[in-house]
A = this chain, B = another copy of it.
Amino acid sequence: MTTANVKAFVFDVFGTVVDWRSGVAREAAAFLQRHGRSAQDADAFADAWRARYQPAMQRVRSGERPFMKLDTLHRENLEEVLSEFGIDRAQVPAAELDELNLAWHRLDPWPDSVEGLTRLKSRHIIAPLSNGNVKLMIDMAKHGGLPWDAILGAEVAQAYKPTPEAYLRTLDVLMLSRAEVCMVAAHNSDLAAAQKCGLRTAFIPRLQEHGAAQTTDLKPDGNWDWVARDLVDLAKQHNV
């Protein structure tokens, strides 16, 4: 497949560019210990928090709730996870929860992410097309050195992926045609939604996103335009 026409790469971020599970677990471990729980539950805590991500966005996608920032949904979900782990919400200062909620702003990139993005940026526009809100993406980029050209995604589009408007409004902001924009993700479902909107697609496996026992997205299961080992390999496939 020719690479000549791709002018912008837009990226899923949680799982594709950064390792959300380790980052959230790291901060959850300290939190759990402060509240008399075992740091060993930190991975489970991260998984439980993430498990509430899609259902919370679904209430926005369905129109049950207006669009709101992912930070707000994360913060609500955190309170529910506390109950799940038997921690009394009333015993935890709100400021401490606000701070733990920022764990999502401090996630580390995968080892290849900064080099891969930097190479792709040399000849293309690169931007997140994440469900994370703009401030979350700014803080994360400053934390990890992600060299985005712009911060796009759900908050700018006012729609959560995989709603078509999330992709289509991003095309409108970029003033590019569908075939000039490539969605990059470690999640087949995200690519399927992008492809349905006419975008080009690139799959990157992230086999440790959910830890060692991961069972999903182990391989591409669609007709994606590119499949690469990681973001550096994707850059090489595009001759940068």
* Contact code string A157-174 (vs B, CB < 8 Å = 1, else 0): 000000000000000011
**How far is it, in angstroms, between the C-alpha of A215 and the C-alpha of B151 when the chains are bound?**
37
**How far is it, in angstroms, between the C-alpha of A36 and the C-alpha of B150 when the chains are bound?**
40
The reply to whether A155 and B173 form a contact with Cβ atoms under 8 Å apart is yes
Q: How far is the CB of A7 from chain B (nearest CB, A)?
A: 10
The reply to whether B71 and A135 form a contact with Cβ atoms under 8 Å apart is no
- Whether A138 sits at the interface, judged by CB under 8 Å, is yes
The reply to whether A150 and B125 form a contact with Cβ atoms under 8 Å apart is no
> Which residue of B71, B148, B173 contacts A134 across the interface (Cβ within 8 Å)?
B173
The reply to whether B141 and A149 form a contact with Cβ atoms under 8 Å apart is yes
Nearest chain B residue, comparing its CB with the CB of A125: B138
**How far is it, in angstroms, between the C-alpha of A40 and the C-alpha of B149 when the chains are bound?**
36
Among A133, A150, A155: residue with most chain B CB under 10 A: A150
- Whether A89 sits at the interface, judged by CB under 8 Å, is no
Give me the interface of A with B, judged by CB distance under 8 Å: 69, 71, 125, 133-135, 137-138, 141-142, 148-152, 155-156, 173-175
